[in-house]
Amino acid sequence: MLLAVGSALSVSAPLAAQDSLASTASPPAQAPAAQPAAQAPAPESPGPLERKVSLNLRNVTLGDALKEINRQAHLGLAYSPKVVPLNQRVTLQANDITAGEALQRALEGTDVEIQVGQTGTVFLVRADRKAAAGVHGEGMIGGQVLDSATHERLDEVQIVLQNTSFSTVTNQYGIYNFYHIPPGRYTILARRIGYAPVSKPVTVVDSIRAEVSFALVSKPTRLTEVVTTATGPKRRLELGNDIAVIDADSVTRTQPVTNVTDLLDGRVPGLVVQRTTGAPGDPGRIRIRGASGVLTNNDPIVIVDGVRVYSQQSNARGANLAAGGFPAPSPIDQIPVQSIETVEVLKGPSAATLYGADAANGVIVITTKRGKPGPAQWSVTADRSTTFIPGRYADDFLRFGHLAADGTPIACQLTTTVGAPEQHQVANLCIADSLVRFQALNDPTLTILDRGARTAGTLGVIGGSETVQYAVTGTYENEQGPVRLPALEVTRYQLSHDGAALPDWMQRPEQFTNWGVSSRLTARVSQKADVAITAVLNRGNQQRSSLESQIQSLMGTYVDRTTGQYFQPDLSGQLLQPLDGALSNYYTRVTDNATNFTNGLTFNWRPLIWLTASADAGINVIHREDASLLPRGALLTNGDSVGRAVDGRATSVVSSINLRATSTTQLGWGLRLQTSVGANYTNQSIDDLTADAFDIPLGATSVGSRFVNTQITENSAEQATFGWYVEPTLASRRFWLSMGLRLDGGNAFGGNVRLISQPKLSPSWLISDEPWFPFKRVFNTLRLRAAYGRAGVQPGPSDRLRLFNSPVTGPVDGQTGGTTTLHSFGNTQLRPERSTEFEGGFDADLLSDRVTLTVTGYHKTRDDALLEVPVPPSVYGGGTVIKNIGVIRNTGFEMSLGAQVVRSDLVTWSTQFGLSHNYNKVVSLAPGVTAFTTDVASGSRIVAGYPLNGKWSKPVVGYADLNGDGVLVSNEVIYGDSLVYLGPSEPDYTAQMSTSLSLFRGALSITGDFQLQNGLTQTGSFSQLLGVSRGANDPTAPLAEQAGVLAARSGADNFLNSQTVRMLRFNSLSATYNVPASFARHLGARAMSLSLQGTNLGLFTNYRGKDPGVNGAITGDFVRDTGVLPQPRTWQVRVNASY
């Protein structure tokens, strides 16, 4: 082993080395590119051995003497203790002698010889080595490896003498040596991950030490990216997990991304976005590696610049608090996407253990843009887009007829319910007259679908000095949704309201306005400390109305053009009652105004070389003002239009503190130990108040204090969690082993806190750097990794208790007093749920880094899963009780493949492909827990052996047209008695492909991306439209469709209406033209670009409904398409300029 004498912190390598990094034995032409002038050696600098020292050493060890000489002369002395007899006693007294002379006197009597390397490092080598080499016909190669830009000495650089068995790595001073090399010509290769490999020829001459040094050019790869972990930033290479990193700044500049959900959608294998509706501002729920829980939601936690923010989307607060039938904008999307620099996604417990108990569903780490030293750089972006619902809705059918007896108009359906209507059919009492096909949503005079528009702008500035940097981003967007009240209805309203004008919100209800300011200030407090302050303020205003919900009824409305009458058959399709108009409800306005404020402070301190510490503290406050309003007198239909106003005020406050410290020390034998310890505390409180008033005064728009019939409901809760952890990481040159343990606690009713321990373990092995690795021609890098981790979630603070509602005082049975009723059943047996995940995989760069491949497999198990189990109505009328229901598992793999197909100056074409598979399964249910339904409307059930919330229905076993009349009746269809499994609630396969083409040296770039999903079982909106389905009306309808209608009417409705969906969506296309710099300058800009961008440009699916990607289930994990607004298509023009 070669030992080095010198401080690792010193960078005062002899400057003379900078010009002589090439091999002394190689031609000058092989020298690397000239170094920057500032780094050129000073001509008058003395050689290291010429530096003067003064010594007064009496009977000291040779080792101490060498240290003193090195201290005075800054030699960067390197030697091996096997060569130098360090314990030998020496006496050395001299003033102002050269270091070389001092060394010679100190080494007198030893067989050690002094050599000076090209870089100025002084080596002490065995004197007989040179002689021996000469004797045996052998030579020696040595040198040093530096970073070409920073001139830092690079350790762990792999040095390979190609076509030989010789290989080694550089030590912490960047030095390497080969001994006993037979004379001859060789090629020597230096490579280190994150740098471009360099090879040089070298000629070894008998008994001569050939020096070959390298200056490696940094070439960051995916593996050398620095990612944020709970214990601080680390190279991806050192982690056993796959962490997805999205360069948000780059994506938002070139692609049509409007919020954080858009940014995540389709860019992270294993991450699925469940869209709600296509209304502006509506959220998407994020699921990472499948769902594992129902009670404990499946939302990942979100951290912005170290600050935990409120991110729950799947509980009741995910809906508008004043009108629960509408989703509220996502808190995640209130973070201005243009202010984000990177988003990192940690996918499960194996990666997120140290983030705490509720990180089992993954962690999304958002880092906002940071400033850069230099003058202020301004950037401006302006967007203008148009939106519309693409495609046509499928036709519906209606078979008009009359009763033979009295001519009463009736819908003569083919297949009807048991009982009287079918008697009509059988007895030929119903005489069919005509069959019509119709679809009001495709009719421009009837439809409520129209074009929407969006305008958005961003203004940002980045700059600062060496000590203080800043970044400020301001955003604004305004969107009008693609829903409009048709002119016919406007006229009808005015006729029935004495010509009163409709308020704007009734005619164009969907409006969404969002503005935000994000700033980040970083400052160096001292050489050892710096501080960062983040402040994000955002305000979103969403408005919509019940007009949206008319999509479902409108698609089943037939208009008789000859009479002007509207018909909406009921669910059984029997009644034919003409209506005054197509729309029955567009009178309720729903608004959600949210103000989101996040403030964070990060303090980094490096008190000692081996110790760093940091602290994050922050607060996130979201204040919501939700409201719904049915104005008094707005209803067309009856005289009791007394109006209703509901106001909700909701505040969530999340405060978090994270403390961590990391020590690093060298253990010897090439091992390094990095130990991190940390603690964090999170407190989340919500305080919601809703006031619901009937019979509001004329003109009132909100709940007033004097309203008589007002009901107040309140919901408040506070939950605090804390934890501390320790994470030692053992690192060698190619191997990293990280272990960790976290202890978690939280508050509970009564204050009894029980800590949960959560271990983790993750090895990472850069196998391609092993000398014996046989596939170096193919793999530039190959890293194997694995990770194990656990996270646990405590039940809620009061979940174990049987609670009673607070008494209501009033007369009951003639007595005045309190009345108390049961609030919740409670369960004293509740245990924390535990999520355990194992993942393993590899990362590879192949074919000269043209191809990158990442493959990960995972196995995530949630034991003692907490679930709100429905209680049958026979127990206290129903409700739910929380139970540990059993074991839920997600197993799957993720693959990411990136390729630079064409890489030239003129054209660059790169493609990224991602594929993920997730198999979700309820492995077992706890004793006493049997299969049960979680959502009746979608048929979602929890059954051991099947996916969580899988769709179930009674089946149609068979059917036959026994009488040959082409029409099925109920006795010609056989139904199964038992429920059968139809499919999962989440897709089992997802794939994404994005491709980017850069032409004309980057002047024109085109990007596009596609998303594929397979396996999602959607319960469709057509379930509500049996009465107008083809199978119910058209005598030529296939028997299967007729059987489906009969099944639906016999309790097997989901068998017909649930469909396992395949869909390929052409998600976006963007073409950006970079305006020539001269033209940009003419406009006063440094650079300028124009983009034409489109989203949702194509949908290829087997789905019978409109859009399988939307979800009318606002909370929970169910999937239901109940005729909600589909995702619109968008075309957008964007101008981007920087100054």
Partner 1 sequence: MGTIELRSFNRRAGARAMAAALLLAALGGCSVDGLVGDASLPSGVNDPVATETPEGALSVYRGALAIFATAFGGVPAGFAPTTFIPVTGVLSDELQDGSLIGLPPAAFNLAGVDIRLLPQQTNPDLETFTGTPSVYAALQQVRGQAQEALGLLRDFPPQASPALQSHVYAIEGYSEVMLADLYCSGIPLSTLDYKGDYTLRPGSSTGDVYEHAAALFDTALTLAGDSARFVGLAQIGKGRALLALGHFADAAAAVQAVPDGYTYAVRYGPAAVPQNFGRMPAPSLTWDFSVSDREGGTGLDYRGSADPRTASTGVGVNIGGVALFHPDKYGADGMSPIVLADWVEARLIEAEAALQAGDAATWLAKLNHLRETAITPALADTTDPGTADARVDLTFRERAFWLFLTGHRQGDLRRLVRLYGRSPDQVYPIGIYPGGGAQYGSDVTAPIPAAERVSNPQFTGCLSRGA
Give, as ranges, the residues between 680 and 739 that touch partner 1 (CB under 8 A). Answer: 680-681, 683, 692, 694-695, 708-709, 711, 713-722, 724, 726, 728
SS3 479: strand
Q: List, as one string, the DSSP characters of 664-680.
A: EEEEETTEEEEEEEEEE
CB of 590 to partner 1, least distance (A): 15
CB of 693 to partner 1, least distance (A): 10
Q: Please report whether residue 420 would count as binding partner 1 according to CB under 8 A.
A: yes
Please state, in angstroms and rounded to a whole number, the distance separating the CA atoms of residues 976 and 756.
Answer: 46
Q: Please report whether residue 806 would count as binding partner 1 according to CB under 8 A.
A: yes
CB of 565 to partner 1, least distance (A): 11
Nearer to partner 1, 406 or 905 (CB): 406
Q: Please report whether residue 495 would count as binding partner 1 according to CB under 8 A.
A: no
Nearer to partner 1, 449 or 696 (CB): 696
Please state, in angstroms and rounded to a whole number, the distance separating the CA atoms of residues 405 and 970.
Answer: 24
* Distance set, CA 497 to CA 264, 578, 637 (Å): 47, 21, 11
CB of 745 to partner 1, least distance (A): 7
Query: Measuring CA to CA, which residue among 137, 202, 150 is closest to residue 176?
Result: 202
How many alpha carbons fall within 13 Å on the CB side of residue 171? 21
Please state, in angstroms and rounded to a whole number, the distance separating the CA atoms of residues 132 and 196.
Answer: 36
Q: Please report whether residue 403 would count as binding partner 1 according to CB under 8 A.
A: yes
Q: Please report whether residue 662 would count as binding partner 1 according to CB under 8 A.
A: yes
Nearer to partner 1, 225 or 692 (CB): 692
Q: Please report whether residue 1002 would count as binding partner 1 according to CB under 8 A.
A: no
Nearer to partner 1, 46 or 134 (CB): 46
Please state, in angstroms and rounded to a whole number, the distance separating the CA atoms of residues 882 and 233.
Answer: 39
CB of 5 to partner 1, least distance (A): 5
Nearer to partner 1, 286 or 661 (CB): 661
CB of 1058 to partner 1, least distance (A): 14
Q: Please report whether residue 876 would count as binding partner 1 according to CB under 8 A.
A: yes
Please state, in angstroms and rounded to a whole number, the distance separating the CA atoms of residues 730 and 111.
Answer: 37
Q: Please report whether residue 871 would count as binding partner 1 according to CB under 8 A.
A: yes
Q: Please report whether residue 818 would count as binding partner 1 according to CB under 8 A.
A: yes
Nearer to partner 1, 45 or 806 (CB): 806
Please state, in angstroms and rounded to a whole number, the distance separating the CA atoms of residues 1054 and 1060.
Answer: 12
* Residues between 29 and 88 with contacts to partner 1, criterion CB under 8 A: 63, 66-67, 70-71, 74, 76, 81
Among 32, 134, 232, 826, binds partner 1 (CB under 8 A): 826
* Residues between 1006 and 1065 with contacts to partner 1, criterion CB under 8 A: 1049-1051, 1053
CB of 743 to partner 1, least distance (A): 10
Kindly tell me the burial class for residue 754, based on how many C-beta atoms sit within 10 Å of its own C-beta (0-12, 13-18, 19 or more).
Answer: exposed
* Residues between 238 and 277 with contacts to partner 1, criterion CB under 8 A: none
Please state, in angstroms and rounded to a whole number, the distance separating the CA atoms of residues 734 and 506.
Answer: 65
Please state, in angstroms and rounded to a whole number, the distance separating the CA atoms of residues 1013 and 992.
Answer: 9
Please state, in angstroms and rounded to a whole number, the distance separating the CA atoms of residues 506 and 616.
Answer: 47
* Residues between 294 and 333 with contacts to partner 1, criterion CB under 8 A: none
Please state, in angstroms and rounded to a whole number, the distance separating the CA atoms of residues 610 and 663.
Answer: 5
* Residues between 887 and 926 with contacts to partner 1, criterion CB under 8 A: none
How many alpha carbons fall within 13 Å on the CB side of residue 960? 2
Q: Is the separation of the CB atoms in 781 and 220 below 8 Å?
A: no
**Cα dihedral sign for 480, 486, 492, 498?**
positive
Query: Measuring CA to CA, which residue among 1070, 1051, 1127 is closest to residue 1096?
Result: 1127
Q: Please report whether residue 164 would count as binding partner 1 according to CB under 8 A.
A: no
List the structure tokens of 331. 């808190």
Q: Please report whether residue 804 would count as binding partner 1 according to CB under 8 A.
A: yes
CB of 595 to partner 1, least distance (A): 23
User: DSSP letter at 153?
Assistant: B
Nearer to partner 1, 729 or 1060 (CB): 729
CB of 643 to partner 1, least distance (A): 10
Nearer to partner 1, 165 or 638 (CB): 638
346-372 residues labelled b (16+ CB within 10 A) or e (exposed): bbbbbbbbbbbbbbbbbbbbbbbbbbe
Query: Measuring CA to CA, which residue among 1045, 1097, 1048 is closest to residue 1071?
Result: 1097
Q: Please report whether residue 978 would count as binding partner 1 according to CB under 8 A.
A: no
User: DSSP letter at 872?
Assistant: P
Stretches 570-578, 626-634, 779-787, 1131-1139: which one binds partner 1 (CB under 8 A)? 570-578
Among 28, 499, 873, 1084, binds partner 1 (CB under 8 A): 873
List the structure tokens of 1096. 């949702």
Query: Measuring CA to CA, which residue among 917, 910, 793 is closest to residue 851?
Result: 910
Query: Which residues are paired to 657 by β-bridges?
Result: 617, 681
Q: Please report whether residue 676 would count as binding partner 1 according to CB under 8 A.
A: yes
Q: How many residues bind partner 1 (CB under 8 A)?
A: 138
Among 87, 423, 465, 963, binds partner 1 (CB under 8 A): 423
Q: Please report whether residue 745 would count as binding partner 1 according to CB under 8 A.
A: yes
Phi, psi of 64 (to 5 degrees): -65, -35
Q: Please report whether residue 945 would count as binding partner 1 according to CB under 8 A.
A: no
* Residues between 597 and 656 with contacts to partner 1, criterion CB under 8 A: 610-611, 613, 615, 637-638, 640, 642
Q: Please report whether residue 135 would count as binding partner 1 according to CB under 8 A.
A: no
CB of 233 to partner 1, least distance (A): 17
- DSSP E strands, 927-1003: 932-935, 940-942, 950-953, 956-959, 973-975, 980-983, 989-999
Nearer to partner 1, 605 or 1066 (CB): 605
Among 28, 419, 927, 1084, binds partner 1 (CB under 8 A): 419
CB of 119 to partner 1, least distance (A): 15
Residue labelled with tokens 């005020």: 649
Among 163, 165, 428, 874, binds partner 1 (CB under 8 A): 874
Q: Please report whether residue 525 would count as binding partner 1 according to CB under 8 A.
A: no
CB of 526 to partner 1, least distance (A): 18
Q: Please report whether residue 749 would count as binding partner 1 according to CB under 8 A.
A: yes
